[in-house]
Structure 1
Amino acid sequence: MSSRPGPWASGRFDVEGHRGAKGLVVENTLAGFAAAYGVGATGVELDVRLTADGRVVVWHDAELLPHKCRSTGPDLVGARVDDLTLAQLRTVDVGSLTLPDCPGQQADPGARISTLSEVLAHGVESAPGVWWTIELKVDPRDEREVSARRQLLEGVLTDVHDHAVERQCFVHSFDWAVLELSAALAPDVLRSALVESSVTWHPGSPLTGSVVPGESHHDVCDGAVAVGAQVISPDDAMVDAAFVDRAHAAGLAVLPWTVNEPPRIVELVEAGVDGIVTDYPDRALAVVASTSRSASPA
């Protein structure tokens, strides 16, 4: 059992499918989420953005990238998501193109960008016990995204309330100002501070909200606590047993990303992390089960 709130509170290790199950099926599609549920992922990570007409959609990139998107009507590839309405986005096929760096990834021809509400409705019906790690894509260096920060967060909070997953999700962001705002608007919804090595935690960082690295706080874990996080989610290269000990001492769960190689998964389990985000939840679940068995007394 863990005193840290989240899916690990019951003592289970949390294996979260990245953007659904990116290594198995094209990312952030209903088929990709179904693949994660089908292999037994205990959680899914997904990305959300606002459309031009204020709808919360599940998509990672600020623009419609040519190696992920095909126009089926007007040519919208290259456009910013926040310049397009939901109706315009629905004309784009995001399921037919697979990624060369994900060998074995299956296409979902004709798939369209989904709203967060649609993804939650599908997931609650398909896998009601799954936890949701909802990454709000806000770049604090982009004035348009900053100006829409509150609207995006309010849309996310409305959707998680409407689908009754407030106690089964994390508000998750590299923009720690999102977490501070969420703490004020919805204090009972858990929050997760994303961290990228050499990007997030440095003097003058625009990503850390009201926290000033090296001045108001000297340790990234203490900074995450200060913005109201219950989870710290670093890129896996940052994580060793000492990092986990510091985070746990601060009351934070540790959820590294994006961890795909079995030897590294074993290292992180042995270091004491609470879960991982992975493109291959099937692979990770098998490794975690094997590691847990080998660690059990005979």
Structure 2
Amino acid sequence: MQPSQPRDTPASAPPRAPVRPGPWVSGRFDVEGHRGARGLVVEHTLASFDAALDAGVTGIELDVRLTADGQVVVWHDPVLSPEQCTSSSPELVGARVRDLTLEQLRTVDIGSRTLARFPGQRPSPGAHVCTLDEVLAHGLVRDPSVWWTVELKVDPRDAGEARSRRQLVEGVLQSVHDASVEHRCFVHSFDWAVLELSAGLAPDVLRSALVETGVTWVVGSPWTGSVRVGESHDDVCAGAVAVGAHVISPEHDLVDEAFVEHAHAAGLAVLPWTVNDADRMRDLVAAGVDGLVTDHPDRASAVLARTAD
């Protein structure tokens, strides 16, 4: 995916510098802990969010889904994976989150099993699935200035998830309102219809368009909301602007200096994911990205400290 380049701007013209709202307005590079700090502590546990804050993040990225009783909970996968979960009620492990009540989810231990692909990951025994309200309240006690990137997990190819899209958006917006973080958060999704819906319901809440390599910006994509790739729009940045995004959040291998310049010219901040290699972090900082999402915010903080020297 290569964005088309503007053709009517002379090479000697100074670059546009639109105001891009977000944590980077202060001039500080935005390090966002992915699912808390997944490289350090089991994801989406309160201990993982604490580890991210301890590493000095400016933002926390997390995922949300709806339960059977309409609660907004912090969890990534559509199911309770046996790789991550244990329970005294074995029938719950492997079940779909949307088929379980919050009370049932509370009985599942999501913190005792670590993942082999994160050899430094620490467990958080007894941790359970939390609501978005609980995570926001916990994080704000630790750091009231932190930004929140709330990824709404909606697969537009899943009829059940598509039907409940509005309920999930409304639940998230209510939570961020109740926590008074409307002006320190992003509604963030691969499903750009989520962003369009959020723009209509809460236009002042910032929005971030996720892009996955070979999935999002392809002809016939179901992920781009009202935008039709190659029909209504030929360029991914223009498409993101059209659905009301303030940020474009691509898979990091799509990002280079040309992409950043093009996105910035469109008024979009650039927040690549998920960046764990220190050399790649340095390359992206040099390319001019506004921040990055990482499983290792400690590693990113060390890279930034060396870059500043």
TM range (shorter): over 0.9
2:140 corresponds to 1:135: no
Q: Which moved more, 1:70-79 or 1:9-18?
A: 70-79
Residue 72 of structure 1, CA deviation: 2.4
Residue 74 of structure 1, CA deviation: 4.8
Q: Which residue of 2 aligns with 1:175?
A: 191
Q: Which residue of 2 aligns with 1:275?
A: 291
The one of 48, 51, 64 equivalent to 1:48 is 64
2:165 corresponds to 1:157: no
Q: Which residue of 1 aligns with 2:89?
A: 73
Partner Cα distance (2:181, 2:252) in 1: 27
Instruction: Kindly report which structure 2 residues correspond to 1:186-205, keeping only aligned pairs within 5 A, or say none.
Output: 186-205=202-221
Partner Cα distance (2:89, 2:217) in 1: 43
Q: Which residue of 2 aligns with 1:23?
A: 39
CA deviations on 1:83-137 (whole Å, 9 max, x unpaired) are: 0000001110000000000011000001000000000000111111110000000
Q: Which residue of 2 aligns with 1:226?
A: 242
2:80 corresponds to 1:64: yes
Q: Is the Cα–Cα contact under 8 Å of residues 2 and 10 in structure 1 kept in the other structure?
A: no
2:301 corresponds to 1:292: no
Matched residue of 1:41: which SS?
coil
Matched to 1:281, the amino acid is P
TM-score, normalised to structure 1, is: 0.97
2:141 corresponds to 1:125: yes
The percent of aligned pairs where both chains have the same amino acid is 70
2:110 corresponds to 1:94: yes
Partner Cα distance (2:62, 2:18) in 1: 25
Q: Which residue of 2 aligns with 1:253?
A: 269
Partner Cα distance (1:216, 1:143) in 2: 24
Partner Cα distance (1:64, 1:202) in 2: 30
Residue 247 of structure 1, CA deviation: 0.3
Deviation >3 Å, runs of 4+: none
Q: Superposition RMSD on alpha carbons, in Å?
A: 0.9
2:50 corresponds to 1:34: yes
Q: Is the Cα–Cα contact under 8 Å of residues 18 and 264 in structure 2 kept in the other structure?
A: no
Partner Cα distance (1:107, 1:90) in 2: 17
- The number of residues matched between the two structures is 293
CA deviations on 1:47-100 (whole Å, 9 max, x unpaired) are: 000000000000000001010000123531111000000000111000000000
